[in-house]
């Protein structure tokens, strides 16, 4: 087992870190305050090849391995948790749906435009009454000549209001449970009946619009079907498995940001005529924060390694995401504690890290659902 980054992986970390320090960190508080989608930063990331990191160059992707992609996403999320979600939903979810399950024509047409960020991607699975319980979805896609008519709605869709390509899940056979779900490519600009109902006012993850979508007799041509009818549930599960590695990366990035800020604050804040970093209580907090972030990072890389080897990684991805998201919230909490009263104000970023970290415990499988998955895998071994 190799624990050292390759020269290429180190270069990627340095390049993304430099971009994040120069362009994202100075804007992070403003993005958090305004909750505006930072289109200019997305364009800059596209120029650096960060909007299609794990996909082959033949589709205008950056052709990076999954470790490098995770490292890139970790760095972006260190700057802004919301920007981390923008990239993760666009790449791990929408991009991967096309890469894994699209035919050649669909990849050429839709994945290529996602990788250059000429198009922005979203993944529309969840509904008001179907979150953890995916097969409970009620959106339908009914055969209509050489296409489908889609009716229903989706909730909590990251990038949903700015997306050009939405990978959508709908029931083509409502009586067949999970086997009746199919996945499609939807194009909001072209498809009449695609309606953005609004966006959520969230605790954190600002800058990434989380949209409610409605489909009102929306007709889409049959060549937008991904794979075969009935494949959708498996498409969703496989895509979310890969996505969980990147939510682990987002969590590690936020944890690192919280640790870095807390460390530098502790070294300059004086009480009792000495920096608070002299107190063992503070030193132990910093030690635990760093240890947890490193452990989470190793779990993330182990899952990425298995994915790259084409081995089963369901349990490992779930564990990486579960552990990284929970320690990110804990680390961010200790970051606030180290800042004392200042940590509870908007004058310091500590409270933003806490709000951003919390989300990772909810989307792409809640911690409870991930524990179910891990236990199931463990008992089946």
Ligand X SMILES: Cc1cc2nc3c(=O)[nH]c(=O)nc-3n(C[C@H](O)[C@H](O)[C@H](O)COP(=O)(O)OP(=O)(O)OC[C@H]3O[C@@H](n4cnc5c(N)ncnc54)[C@H](O)[C@@H]3O)c2cc1C
HSE, side-chain direction, 13 A CA sphere, residue 217? 0
Residue corresponding to tokens 């409270």: 351
- With CB under 6 A as the contact rule, the residue among 101, 110, 156, 194 that binds ligand X is 156
330 is a catalytic site residue: no
| DSSP H helical ranges for 269-366 | 280-308, 314-339, 350-359
Closest CB to ligand X among residues 17, 130: 130
Return the range that interacts with ligand X (CB under 6 A); candidates 59-67, 119-127, 266-274, 314-322: 119-127
The residue whose Cβ lies closest to ligand X is 131
- With CB under 6 A as the contact rule, the residue among 132, 283, 291, 345 that binds ligand X is 132
Contact 266, 259 (CB under 8 A): no
Query: Does 89 interact with ligand X (rule: CB under 6 A)?
Result: yes
- Catalytic residue (one of 2, 364, 368, 381): 364
Q: CA separation (Å) from 126 to 5, 169, 267, 321, 338?
A: 36, 9, 44, 19, 37
Query: Does 366 interact with ligand X (rule: CB under 6 A)?
Result: yes
Alpha carbon distance 28, 334 (integer Å): 20
Contact 351, 358 (CB under 8 A): no
Taking the complex as a whole, how short is the minimal distance between the CB of residue 361 and ligand X, in angstroms? 9
Taking the complex as a whole, how short is the minimal distance between the CB of residue 212 and ligand X, in angstroms? 11
Backbone phi, psi, residue 171, to 5°:
-85, 120
Taking the complex as a whole, how short is the minimal distance between the CB of residue 164 and ligand X, in angstroms? 15
Return the range that interacts with ligand X (CB under 6 A); candidates 16-24, 40-48, 122-130, 216-224: 122-130
Alpha carbon distance 158, 51 (integer Å): 15
Query: Does 83 interact with ligand X (rule: CB under 6 A)?
Result: no
Contact 370, 303 (CB under 8 A): no
Note the residue count of the chain.
381
Return the range that interacts with ligand X (CB under 6 A); candidates 36-44, 104-112, 170-178, 356-364: 356-364
- With CB under 6 A as the contact rule, the residue among 342, 369, 374, 377 that binds ligand X is 369
Alpha carbon distance 48, 381 (integer Å): 42
* Complete DSSP assignment for 303-324: HHHHHHTT---HHHHHHHHHHH
Closest CB to ligand X among residues 138, 337: 138
Taking the complex as a whole, how short is the minimal distance between the CB of residue 310 and ligand X, in angstroms? 26
Residues between 174 and 213 with contacts to ligand X, criterion CB under 6 A: 202, 205, 210
Nearest to 46 by CA among 94, 91, 101: 91
- With CB under 6 A as the contact rule, the residue among 158, 182, 251, 373 that binds ligand X is 158
Return the range that interacts with ligand X (CB under 6 A); candidates 18-26, 65-73, 150-158, 248-256: 150-158
As annotated, the active-site residues are: 364
Binding site for ligand X (CB under 6 A): 89, 123-126, 131-132, 156-158, 202, 205, 210, 359, 362-364, 366, 368-369, 372
């Amino acid at each position: 087992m190799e624990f050292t980054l390759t020269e290429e992986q180190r270069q990627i970390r340095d390049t993304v870190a430099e971009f994040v320090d120069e362009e994202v960190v100075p804007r992070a508080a403003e993005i958090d305050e305004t909750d505006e989608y930072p289109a200019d930063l997305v364009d800059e990331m596209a120029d650096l090849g960060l909007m299609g990191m794990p996909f082959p160059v033949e589709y205008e992707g950056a052709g990076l391995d999954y470790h490098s992609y995770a490292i890139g996403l970790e760095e972006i999320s260190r700057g802004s948790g919301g920007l981390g979600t923008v990239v993760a939903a666009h790449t791990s979810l929408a991009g991967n749906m096309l890469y894994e399950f699209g035919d050649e024509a669909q990849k050429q047409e839709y994945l290529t435009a996602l990788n250059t960020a000429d198009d922005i991607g979203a993944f529309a699975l969840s509904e008001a009454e179907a979150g953890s319980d995916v097969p409970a979805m009620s959106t339908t896609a009914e055969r209509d000549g050489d296409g489908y008519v889609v009716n229903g709605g989706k909730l909590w869709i990251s990038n949903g209001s700015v997306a050009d390509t939405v990978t959508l899940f709908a029931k083509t056979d409502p009586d067949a449970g999970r086997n009746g779900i199919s996945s499609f490519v939807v194009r909001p600009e072209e498809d009449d009946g695609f309606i953005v109902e609004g966006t959520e006012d969230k605790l954190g993850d600002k800058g990434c619009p989380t949209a409610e979508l409605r489909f009102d007799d929306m007709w889409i041509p049959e060549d937008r079907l991904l794979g075969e009818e009935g494949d959708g549930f498996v498409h969703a599960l496989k895509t979310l498995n890969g996505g969980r590695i990147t939510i682990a990366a987002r969590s590690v990035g936020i944890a690192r940001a919280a640790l870095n800020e807390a460390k530098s604050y502790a070294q300059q804040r004086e009480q009792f005529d000495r920096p608070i970093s002299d107190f063992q209580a503070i030193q132990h907090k910093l030690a635990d924060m760093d240890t947890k972030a490193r452990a989470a990072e190793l779990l993330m890389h182990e899952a990425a390694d298995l994915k790259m080897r084409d081995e089963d990684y369901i349990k490992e991805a779930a564990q990486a995401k579960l552990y990284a998201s929970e320690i990110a919230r804990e680390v961010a909490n200790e970051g606030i504690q180290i800042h004392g009263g200042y940590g509870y104000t908007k004058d310091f970023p500590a409270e933003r890290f806490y709000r951003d970290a919390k989300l990772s415990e909810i989307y792409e499988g809640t911690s409870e659902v991930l524990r179910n998955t891990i236990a199931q895998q463990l008992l089946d071994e």
